[in-house]
Structure 1
Amino acid sequence: MNHVNTVRGAVEPAALGTTLMHEHVFVRSLEATLNYSTTWESDDTRVDEAVRMLDRLADAGIDTVVDLTVLGLGRDIRLVERVAAATRMSIIAATGAYVLDRLPYQLAFNPPKGGLIDGLAAFFIADLTQGIAGTMVKAGIIKCATDVAGFTPDVTAVIEAAAIAQVATGVPISTHADAGTQRGLEQQQRLMDRGVDPARIIVGHCGDTLDLGYLRAVMDAGSTVGLDRFGMEQPVSTAQRIAVVEELCALGYADRIVLSHDAACHSEWMDPIRTAEENPDWSMFLVPEVVIPTLRERGVPEDLLDMMTVSNPRRLLTSPTATQQGDSL
């Protein structure tokens, strides 16, 4: 039976509802957090804050958040479990690695058994089919990244491992791709060359550019674009990001678009005062409270709005070959 793994267990795809496809519960650099944190305060405080934020997001009409926090972003699945147990929001966890140039030294100096690529793939597959970090929580999506450094040996290893895990499990791959260098196109091609169906790829951060040629090339090759940084005013303003969605819908691409913010309930990477000054509207609430109403006012049909926020995420996240986690909710 088709299903989607969430932090609380496997659910039927129809239960996902309105979904934000690229968010984070907590972003941390664990070593820095443990030694020099100025904003973490305590686990209890941050869990309570996240629950309040996600419940408010549920009140705004969002049913599911995809948490793309993986190795390199401070994933702590036990904290996310606590949040998921207390909030009305469904959370989907990710596996993979956020590597922009080099792997963490632990993996570089002590590669996993079986070699770096196959070993990483085994880690990812175990997260998807057995559980993350000794828990019963199974990931429902794979994350990888390519930035301005391009395809360094370590970035390439993660891309290849992600492809192996995707082909083995059927779950989608969602990427971090630098839009300014159009990394998404080569990223997409490398994954396809390793057997990944382009329809199972979401090329992330495509909203960071106004180059419709780049976005259309990604979609014409069969993949979905993540217009997923609403609220960030750099390098593209919120108004410009909304205009891109409107234009792509008019061109017939709504079936290959998902919307999100790349925001976090709490990020140790960000100075809260500076972030509020530079990006005052950057939160998980902008899509339901501003973006969708604005697109509706501009005449984007309701079925296309539903496509980008409900049916596209449901199609992408449904993985008939993945192993179910416990009983369905």
Structure 2
Amino acid sequence: LMIDSMHFILQKYGGGTMVDNTNLGISRDINFLKQASEKTGVNIVAGTGYYVESSRPETVKLTVEEMAAHMKRELQDGCDGSSIKCGVIGEVGCTSEKRALQAAAQVNVDIGCPVIIHPGRDDKAPQEIVRVYQEAGGKVDKLIMSHLDRTFLSEDKLVEFAALGCYCEFDLFGIELTHYQQKESVDMPGDATRIKSIKSLINSGYEDKITISQDIHTKHRM
């Protein structure tokens, strides 16, 4: 299904590169990505880094240095026993611990690769993440904050966050729900509201800091 979708999108809309945020803890399949790339002609950039701690109990005792060393190996030497190198750190899950974020910042400093973040669902989380990331040395102009369409429901707060300098990602297009399933107190915005939020960033001068994607992590979202 993924390969068929890639063929359709490439033929209809063009483009030749896809970034896959499936990293450590959420069943990354490097061999499948290689096959999909070869069958479609699309460049696929694989992600390294650590997702939320509940998805990777075997790694929660690793130090920042150990996490950083593993990511650097996957970026520079290859991952999962192959010579295929990852090209991005992400999606880094930020829940109750900071080590994965600090390690990603350390690698960003060392080799300059971009970092993609999965923030918590509180609207204060993105700012806290940027603070921790910068304190660890990470470059904010290489940072992408995902899922902002379900995190900032106020345009003023969104524009205030954009002033920090990282990329603002809207990636829940096509998901039309009455509420956000992971936080039922949140009224889930629809596509019209997402577009309105993006327009507010453009009107505030942040058109070069917007990324648009789709958070496809289960088959039903395709």
Structure 2 equivalent of residue 184 of structure 1: 126
- Partner in structure 2 of residue 90 of structure 1: 43
Give 1:116's aligned amino acid: T
Segments of 5+ residues of structure 1 without an aligned counterpart are 1-48, 273-281, 284-329
Are 1:145 and 2:93 an aligned pair?
yes
Distance 1:213 1:197 in 2: 24
Letter of the structure 1 residue corresponding to residue 166 of structure 2 = S
Tell me if the contact between 1:179 and 1:206 (Cα under 8 Å) persists in the aligned partners. Answer: no
Show CA shifts across 1:192-242 (max 9, x none): 111111111111111223322332232211111111211122411111111
Q: Evaluate the alpha carbon distance shift between residue 261 and residue 103 of structure 1 in structure 2; reply closer, same or farther with a 3 A threshold.
A: closer
Could you tell me how far apart the structure 1 residues matched to 2:120 and 2:159 are?
A: 16
Which consecutive residues of structure 2, in runs of 5 or more, have no partner in the other structure? 178-187
Determine helix, strand or coil for the equivalent of 1:60. Answer: helix
* Alignment match of 2:57 (pick from 82, 89, 105): 105
CA RMSD of aligned residues (A): 1.8
Q: What is the TM-score of this pair, normalised by structure 1?
A: 0.60
Matched-pair contact (CA < 8 Å) for 2:108–2:139 = no
Q: Distance in 2 between matches of 1:219 and 1:179?
A: 17
In structure 1, distance between residues paired with 2:78 and 2:26: 18
CA distance in 2, matches of 1:256, 1:225: 6
Q: Which amino acid aligns with 2:212?
A: L
Counterpart secondary structure, 2:215: coil
Is 1:213 aligned to residue 148 of structure 2? no
Contact 1:182 1:214 in 2 (8 A): no
Alignment match of 2:206 (pick from 229, 242, 253): 253
2-side partners of 1:227 and 1:103: how far apart? 23
Partner of 2:80: 133
2:2 partner amino acid: A
* Counterpart check, 1:58 vs 2:10: yes
Q: CA deviation at 1:178?
A: 3.1
Q: CA deviation at 1:167?
A: 1.1
**Partner deviation per Cα, 1:173-197 (whole Å, 9 max, x = no partner):** 1111135433111001110111111
1:66–1:91 CA contact under 8 A, matched in 2? yes
- Deviation at residue 135 of structure 1 after TM alignment: 1.3
Return the letter of the residue paired with 2:161: V
The residue that corresponds to 1:223 in the other structure is 166
* Structure 1 residues 72 and 171: alpha-carbon distance in aligned structure 2, compared to 1, 3 A threshold: same
The amino acid that maps onto 1:123 is H
Identity level (%): 25
Larger relative contact order, structure 1 or 2 (CA cutoff 8 Å, min sep 6): 1
Contact 2:142/2:166, CA 8 A, preserved across alignment: yes
Map 1:1-329; keep pairs closer than 5 Å.
49-61=1-13, 62-99=15-52, 101-102=53-54, 104-108=56-60, 111=61, 116-143=63-90, 144-146=92-94, 150=95, 152=96, 155-208=97-150, 209-234=152-177, 235-264=188-217, 267=218, 272=220, 282-283=221-222
Structure 2 Cα separation of the partners of residues 198 and 177 of structure 1: 15
Contact 2:159 / 2:204 at 8 angstroms: preserved in 1? no
Structure 1 counterpart SS, 2:98: helix
CA–CA distance in structure 2, aligned partners of residues 104 and 180 of structure 1: 22
Kept in 1: contact 2:159–2:200 (CA 8 A)? no
Distance in 2 separating the partners of 1:76 and 1:103? 16
| CA gap 1:181/1:246 in 2 versus in 1, 3 angstroms | closer
Distance verdict in 2 for CA 1:247–1:64, change over 3 Å: same
Shift of 1:103: 6.0
